[in-house]
Structure 1
Amino acid sequence: MFQKLTLKAIDGQAGTIVNESPPLNKTEKHDTPHSMSMTGESFKKTLVILGLGFLLGRAVILLHLLPFVIPFLAVIFHVKRSHTLIAALALIAGSATVSIGFAGHTTVAILLYFLFQGLADHLKQEQKFIPIIVFLATGTARYVGFLITDGHSWYNVLTTLVEASLAMVVTLIFLQSLPLVFERRKKMTLKHEEIVCLVILLASLMTGTVGWLVFQLSVEQIVARYIVLIFAFIGGAAIGSTVGVVTGLILSLANVANLFYMSLLAFSGLLGGLLKEGKKISVGIGLIIGTLLMGMYGDNQVSMQYSMYETLIAVSLFMLTPKKWTEYMSKYIPGTVEHSQEQQQYIRKVRDVTAGKVEQFSNLFLSLSKSFTLLEATGERSNREREVDLFLSKVTEKTCQTCMKKHQCWTKKFQETYGLMEQLMRECEQDGGVSNRQLQVEWRQHCIIDERVIDAMKSELNQHHASQQLKQQLIESRRLVADQLKGVSKVMEDFAKDIQREKQEHEKQESEITEAIQRAGLDVEMVDVYNLEAGNIDIEITLSSNTYNEGEKIVAPLLSDILQETVIVKHTEPATLTGNEQRVTFGSTKKFEVNEGVAHAAKGGKLVSGDSYSTMELGAGKYAIAISDGMGNGTRAHIESQETIGLLKNILRSGIEETVAIKSINSILSLRSQEEVFSTLDLAMIDLQEGFVKFLKVGSIPSYIKRGTNVKSVEAGNLPIGIIHDMDVDVVTEQLKSGDLLIMMSDGIYEAPKTVENHDVWMKRIIKELETDDPQEVADLLMERVIRETGNEINDDMTVVVARLDHHLPKWASISLPKQKDA
């Protein structure tokens, strides 16, 4: 039975888990649907390169120039190098359909490109040298051709430089547009430059169809008008007219007779884009009108009959284009509704993911807080009997182990021995020694080394107390961490909810506000309504001018009447760098406002007071008033109270709840110093929207609310901060009305008169006798009255803070416009 007083170590062996599953055979290969889809994708890209190469090989401009061949080959070499040979063969095949001479020129140019590219392979930053290599290959091939056929002439040199320079520019364009054809990106917003480059690529491909006729109708004209219709319908007038000009210009280079069509395509793109709100029919009608006007008033280079047939076929193809195709393309064109929806959807996904991550962190911190709380609870429930066993085992190791009667005491008389030693331990803990004479006699009769055991017990108690203190500090540290983690979890949970709030659609309200402002005689550029929730209104209006502060004098009163809530100007900034436009932000004002007055004095008229106070407006529509009184007077008390107020301000501004903030401050201050230096805290949280006030009093004296001639005291029984480790904060809630006075003070004011028996009744009578309701005057009069009552002596640090709650009165009354009568 002696084993109760000894510690035993139990050694355990850790087991191992062996994974007996056989290793995978890395040599096995299986055809997966993914690999098959990749093969199909590669086959599609091969067909696309063949088609593009064939058409660009036929693209001849200015009768005999081929500026698209080498640029296409160079870009394919750097983007899809494995398809370079296929692209070269397609280019040669396309040129061969024009003439054998063009095919020979294309072959020579391709060989020269490979030669120059091979010489440049060892250079770094290859992409910078692509246009130069294209320039050299195109120019060399053209000049060699001229030398063979016509010999040297400056005209040929100039033509060579023009073609080589044009090829270099086309290379830069293809570097922008060809990757858009092959790469598949989830988020691909096309810039305007990329759109133009893509149109140039399409127009270059159409150049390869020059000369193709179907029933005397030109294929390139049908395709060109169809493309203009698509872009005008998707991107509007700006994109449509741009596409028309670029397409017509490149087609006119291939055939001078097509110069007439540049005007037709540009005008049709502009007209179709302007009529896009009427859907496909209006855009098609725009092309038909453009064709008729150009045919009637043009130079009649082209038969109006055939031109009209080409237009009707293009319109028919446009009408047959599936809606999902145009919607898919619209997602990549900036300014379109589909693009905006796609961006909003992407932003919404990012927002939801971010909110989800924040919620996960919130749950993590909450779980950590619970785990620390569980550890603390487990530690508090630690067995007292086990602590006694451990303590007595250490005492017996130093005494009984060397005693010759240990077997008799701890085997035959175990219960008696254990009980007597436990009583001795309690006596030593309470009195520092054994003062019970009866216990001394019983122990002397029981033990032959009685004095030695008592001395060992006293010595061991000092170490035991130190150990207990360390354990208590550890428990307090866990409590502090748990409270902080819980507070952070709540802040992050609220933050996640704020992230998920998105701008609601308020088109009807925006139009009504715009109409009201315009009826008041002001020019308004834009109205954005972000929130119409009561007490949290958020509206942004761009005014053409705010020179005479029209936003505050006219717009805010108008909004107050429309929304039935007082609205004020929150922020004003210029809308543009040049011009008079002003962006004005309007928001809700609080129903109440606080005016405060403060009076304080240090003990004996000194400069340093042990009291500290603070008044602050928090972002959530709350107003906080706090007074802290450090124990004693002077610098040390001032540091303690100032530290309490500083911690409170920082924690409250972070969004952590008031009770959690006070508990955290209590834990921090109790852990920070082992000396008995405490401080009180008197906190009042005023809700400026509803008028409620919450009092959180920690060791502080009562506060008072004066309403007319009635005075009410508010008090709560909490010990000062730092005295006990586990504290419960009592919260008292009161309803304030406009004109009420809230009076908070330190004990130097409340307990100053020594001759007063009931300080509460005395303070109520003094406050009731005050005839003023000005906060500063009330504070000064209270301070003066208390000092007079104490014989003009300041026996303790004195602080009084007075706050008056008033309805917020805006500078400008609301404006109500007369309702328009229906005609």
Structure 2
Amino acid sequence: MERVEYRTFKKTDIPKVKKTIHWKEIFLGTTYKDLFIDLLGFMISRVILFTNLLPLSIAYFAAGLHTKANRMWLLLFSAAGVLSVRDSTLSSKYIGAFILMIMLQHFMETKGYTPTKIVQAVMAMIACFVMGMVTAGIHGFAGYYLIVAILESIFVFTAAYIYGSAISCMRGPLKRTILSNEEIISLILIFGTAIAGIIDFSISGIYFREVVSILLVLLFGFIGGPSIGGTIGIVIGTILTLIGVMPAVSIGILGISGMIAGLFKEIGRVGSGIGFLLGQVIISFYFEGTAITYDFLKPILAAIILFLSLPAGIITLIKQFINYEPNLGQEVYYKRIRDITAQQLEAFSNAFLKLSKTFSNISKKKTSLNQRDVSMLIEDVASRVCQDCGLCSHCWESDFYNTYQTVFSILSAAERKSRIDVNDIPQDFIEKCLKVDVFVDTTNRMFELYKLNLLWHNRIVESRELVSEQLRGVSSIIGNLAVEVYGQVYFKEELEQAIKVELDRENIVVSDVMVVSNRQNKYEVVIEHSPCRGKRICTKNIVPVVSQILGRKMKLAGSGCAGLNGKENCKLKLIEEEKYRIMTGVAKESKDSSSISGDTYSFMEIKNGQYLLALSDGMGSGNKASEESGAAIELLEEFMESGFDKDLAIKMINSVLVLKSNEEFFSTLDMTIIDLYTGVAEFVKIGAASAFLKRGDTVEIIGSSSLPVGMLNNVDIDMTKKKLKDGDIIIMVTDGVLDSKKDIIEKEKWFSEVLKGLDITQPEYIAEYLLNIAKENSEKEIEDDMTVLVAKVWEKYS
């Protein structure tokens, strides 16, 4: 329950209480919430316990005394409830307790104190004890009345404290959806006792109070499950037993029936209704041994009909308050961690983007000398040539304007011609200047130096632009990662439970099962089980079971057995098996049969069920070409394996190769990315030779007109998408293969005819066959590196 408040009185600054009562405030200042509380007070005041006592009336009245405007109404409703079940003589004890509590409350408020919940419970206990002693005095202080006064006052204290939480909750905002355990228990008790005080009546032998009781058990069992249904059944059964409406055996019958109704909730309302009915019939027959008659079934059937007729909005509203999910706390915790991580990643992404913009805006390329450069160049030439000249003051002081304009025109001529000679100097300047030859040499030397500075300035700007592009790429990657983290992941609890049950039937001890559905609507399953010591139960038993339950073919995400040592649990990750598979074959030959080839290739399975085929041809041949193409392929493998977008990966590779050296080296890049789930292939080409798609007797040419990577800061990408079919063959080659046929212009068409005539299907044999044809075309001299990469697509299941 709620923690005890040690300061039993709280000092408040309130105005002095008015001595007069405004009747308008009493009748018009009451809200609909207060009227609902008053109505509950009327019903609870009618509940008779222990044959002749009404302690709940005092407890409820004490808990509802907070609102001044509602006290008179609460007094009237509570007194009416007491008088409706007892005559005026017996009811005077409880009405007197009501009036005594109002006086105590009023007295404390005039002193500036607002009683807390526990103080109101104490007030109720005092009022009950005082009126109990008055009643005992009337009867000569008989021992029975003294014991009743003590026990009833203790009972009132407990009930008033419990009711206080429920009334505070009812007076609070209606939009609340999260209640504390104390509030839930208090509300259950307050509504349960209110049901007991309903003015009972019957229609065709169906009693209203019995129908409402069954309806509540059904409703809460359907919403909250077996635990809530059983609890409500026991509470209502206990209250109805205490007031003498039902026998004690009804407590167990209602509790078990509510639990069964909760167990059948997955079937729907009809399932819960049938479950409750079966529970009532079977348990009643077992405990009481009586025949099941129509009179017995009438209230149950009436409650089930009302339950089925309830609007869905009411059930949804109640679900917000009492529906309890045991894993919700952990899921909320993971969501918060995910949100914090995503926010951090977004902040990093924005920081890198701002840094990229800073590098991009920090300086611009210059195509020629600007005014500032020319002025500085003139000053440098003048300081070197004219500083020690006797006519310096005449030229640069007395005749400054003409001298400056003449030197400026000479520099303009130098910019046009790269170098100047005496013929480019105006005649009047030659006649006045004593160091014409020195001036010409110095101007040419300084101008070359300035042009070199301009070149390096532009190189630095290019480097900054490339770094800016890389930082923008990093920002994009982190931003995409933030989106992935934010992406909704759906936990499939029902599938997790089904997998646990089925594996248990297979005698596989499982400690944890997690089933998630990712953004691509693909299942991922993580299972932790006892080590099998190399028996491979993961592939023999677990994978078939999971595939059957999920209705999708699953496979292990990794290889090898994690449970060989028998000490730690084996943790498996299962992913959906791809629909397509790839078989590859490669054949290559170096220029002049050298041991080093400038061509580099790769094929590998990457994330999200994709397969990468890559081929790069470095410019020329030998070590340098091998290094360039090898760097391109190595970077591509790393970027694609890390989950980079292909366009971004290519831009990053291009910027790295541009910055790699000052020499003019570049590489082609030929990529094919195949989605093994859908069979869609993306052919990406940057300066690469044409690729070929062979389907039966037809061959399709996939060409490119873009420049290789590493040549320019910005790279053009040619991309083509194709839907592959079972048996399709992809052939990727470098220029050395196509250029081996020197006597024709349309080399792709020639190669297509060769492919059409193929009657072999093994990729390795196809690659060797095509390379041998290229070598035969070259006769004895191979002028360029040759590589053939072949991949065959086949469908595992349809």
TM-score, normalised via structure 1 length: 0.55
Corresponding residue to 2:795 among 788, 804, 808: 808
Measured at CA, do residues 735 and 92 of structure 1 come closer, stay the same or move farther in structure 2, by a change above 3 Å?
A: closer
Corresponding residue to 1:624 among 583, 595, 612: 612
Corresponding residue to 1:247 among 221, 236, 239: 236
Aligned 1:494-505 pairs, distance under 5 A:
none
Measured at CA, do residues 92 and 791 of structure 1 come closer, stay the same or move farther in structure 2, by a change above 3 Å?
A: same
1:61 aligns with 2:49: yes
1:393 aligns with 2:375: yes
Corresponding residue to 1:469 among 450, 459, 464: 459
Measured at CA, do residues 802 and 473 of structure 1 come closer, stay the same or move farther in structure 2, by a change above 3 Å?
A: closer
Query: In 2, are the aligned partners of 1:62 and 1:254 still within 8 Å (CA)?
Result: yes
Measured at CA, do residues 152 and 298 of structure 1 come closer, stay the same or move farther in structure 2, by a change above 3 Å?
A: same
Query: In 2, are the aligned partners of 1:62 and 1:253 still within 8 Å (CA)?
Result: yes
Question: Equivalent residue of 2:31, what SS?
Answer: helix
Query: In 2, are the aligned partners of 1:373 and 1:482 still within 8 Å (CA)?
Result: no
Measured at CA, do residues 313 and 780 of structure 1 come closer, stay the same or move farther in structure 2, by a change above 3 Å?
A: closer
1:229 aligns with 2:211: no
Measured at CA, do residues 444 and 551 of structure 1 come closer, stay the same or move farther in structure 2, by a change above 3 Å?
A: same
| Residue 671 (structure 2) aligns with | 684
Query: In 1, are the aligned partners of 2:617 and 2:734 still within 8 Å (CA)?
Result: no
> How far apart, in 2, do the equivalents of 1:632 and 1:660 lie?
27
> How far apart, in 1, do the equivalents of 2:524 and 2:581 lie?
21
The Cα shift of 1:392 comes to: 0.9
> How far apart, in 1, do the equivalents of 2:516 and 2:422 lie?
86
AA aligned to 2:192 is: A
> How far apart, in 1, do the equivalents of 2:119 and 2:594 lie?
87
AA aligned to 1:803 is: V
> How far apart, in 1, do the equivalents of 2:204 and 2:669 lie?
92
| Residue 3 (structure 2) aligns with | none
| Residue 495 (structure 2) aligns with | none
| Residue 658 (structure 1) aligns with | 646
> How far apart, in 1, do the equivalents of 2:264 and 2:609 lie?
50
Measured at CA, do residues 660 and 410 of structure 1 come closer, stay the same or move farther in structure 2, by a change above 3 Å?
A: farther
The Cα shift of 1:247 comes to: 1.9
| Residue 31 (structure 2) aligns with | 43
Identical counterparts, % of pairs: 19
Corresponding residue to 1:99 among 91, 101, 119: 91
> How far apart, in 2, do the equivalents of 1:456 and 1:84 lie?
99
Aligned 1:606-621 pairs, distance under 5 A:
613-619=601-607
AA aligned to 1:249 is: T
| Residue 595 (structure 1) aligns with | 584
Query: In 1, are the aligned partners of 2:381 and 2:443 still within 8 Å (CA)?
Result: yes
AA aligned to 2:373 is: F
Measured at CA, do residues 267 and 805 of structure 1 come closer, stay the same or move farther in structure 2, by a change above 3 Å?
A: closer
Q: Deviations over 1:395-453 (max 9, x none)?
A: 1233469774458988569887544312313555xxxxx26674478897498363444
Query: In 1, are the aligned partners of 2:600 and 2:616 still within 8 Å (CA)?
Result: yes
Query: In 2, are the aligned partners of 1:569 and 1:584 still within 8 Å (CA)?
Result: no
Q: Deviations over 1:184-226 (max 9, x none)?
A: 464737899987763322122344x37x57799999x634523
The Cα shift of 1:250 comes to: 0.5
Query: In 1, are the aligned partners of 2:410 and 2:425 still within 8 Å (CA)?
Result: no
Query: In 2, are the aligned partners of 1:596 and 1:804 still within 8 Å (CA)?
Result: yes
Aligned 1:309-708 pairs, distance under 5 A:
325=314, 328-329=317-318, 334=323, 384=367, 387-399=369-381, 404-405=394-395, 418-428=408-418, 434=419, 438-439=423-424, 445=430, 448=433, 450-451=439-440, 452-481=442-471, 568-569=553-554, 589-591=578-580, 593-597=582-586, 613-619=601-607, 622-628=610-616, 644-652=632-640, 657-671=645-659, 673=660, 675-676=662-663, 678=665, 680-687=667-674, 688=676, 689-690=678-679, 692=681, 694-698=683-687
The Cα shift of 1:684 comes to: 2.1
AA aligned to 2:50 is: L
> How far apart, in 1, do the equivalents of 2:597 and 2:152 lie?
88
> How far apart, in 1, do the equivalents of 2:181 and 2:214 lie?
16
Question: Equivalent residue of 1:420, what SS?
Answer: helix
The Cα shift of 1:164 comes to: 5.0
> How far apart, in 1, do the equivalents of 2:298 and 2:721 lie?
84
The Cα shift of 1:696 comes to: 1.4
> How far apart, in 2, do the equivalents of 1:636 and 1:178 lie?
84
Measured at CA, do residues 725 and 40 of structure 1 come closer, stay the same or move farther in structure 2, by a change above 3 Å?
A: farther
The Cα shift of 1:723 comes to: 3.1
> How far apart, in 1, do the equivalents of 2:82 and 2:546 lie?
73
Aligned 1:154-303 pairs, distance under 5 A:
164=154, 177-178=166-167, 180-184=169-173, 186=175, 188=177, 198-207=187-196, 209=197, 222-223=208-209, 225-229=211-215, 232=218, 236=222, 243-255=232-244
Measured at CA, do residues 439 and 156 of structure 1 come closer, stay the same or move farther in structure 2, by a change above 3 Å?
A: farther
> How far apart, in 1, do the equivalents of 2:68 and 2:771 lie?
91
Query: In 1, are the aligned partners of 2:195 and 2:212 still within 8 Å (CA)?
Result: no
| Residue 511 (structure 2) aligns with | none
Q: Deviations over 1:124-166 (max 9, x none)?
A: xx99xx8999799969986996898799999998996898589
| Residue 721 (structure 1) aligns with | 709
> How far apart, in 2, do the equivalents of 1:318 and 1:774 lie?
68
> How far apart, in 2, do the equivalents of 1:245 and 1:378 lie?
80
TM-score, normalised via structure 2 length: 0.56
Q: Deviations over 1:660-699 (max 9, x none)?
A: 431232124434x55448552533224454564514134x
> How far apart, in 2, do the equivalents of 1:639 and 1:318 lie?
77
The Cα shift of 1:310 comes to: 9.7
Q: Deviations over 1:307-353 (max 9, x none)?
A: 99999999999999888656644665649xxx9xxx9xxx9xx9xxx
Query: In 2, are the aligned partners of 1:741 and 1:775 still within 8 Å (CA)?
Result: no
AA aligned to 1:464 is: L
> How far apart, in 1, do the equivalents of 2:289 and 2:458 lie?
106
Query: In 2, are the aligned partners of 1:610 and 1:631 still within 8 Å (CA)?
Result: yes
Measured at CA, do residues 76 and 695 of structure 1 come closer, stay the same or move farther in structure 2, by a change above 3 Å?
A: same
Query: In 2, are the aligned partners of 1:252 and 1:262 still within 8 Å (CA)?
Result: yes
Unaligned 5+ segments in structure 2 are 1-26, 84-89, 108-112, 384-391, 493-514, 526-536, 558-571
> How far apart, in 1, do the equivalents of 2:298 and 2:684 lie?
85
Question: Equivalent residue of 1:99, what SS?
Answer: helix
Question: Equivalent residue of 2:370, what SS?
Answer: helix
Measured at CA, do residues 454 and 500 of structure 1 come closer, stay the same or move farther in structure 2, by a change above 3 Å?
A: same
Q: Deviations over 1:456-480 (max 9, x none)?
A: 4344344433333332333334444
Measured at CA, do residues 205 and 745 of structure 1 come closer, stay the same or move farther in structure 2, by a change above 3 Å?
A: same
Question: Equivalent residue of 2:686, what SS?
Answer: strand
Unaligned 5+ segments in structure 1 are 1-38, 116-120, 429-433, 504-527, 541-545, 561-566, 573-582, 815-823
> How far apart, in 1, do the equivalents of 2:482 and 2:788 lie?
34
For the aligned residue pairs, the C-alpha RMSD in angstroms reads 7.6
> How far apart, in 2, do the equivalents of 1:83 and 1:649 lie?
77
AA aligned to 2:211 is: R
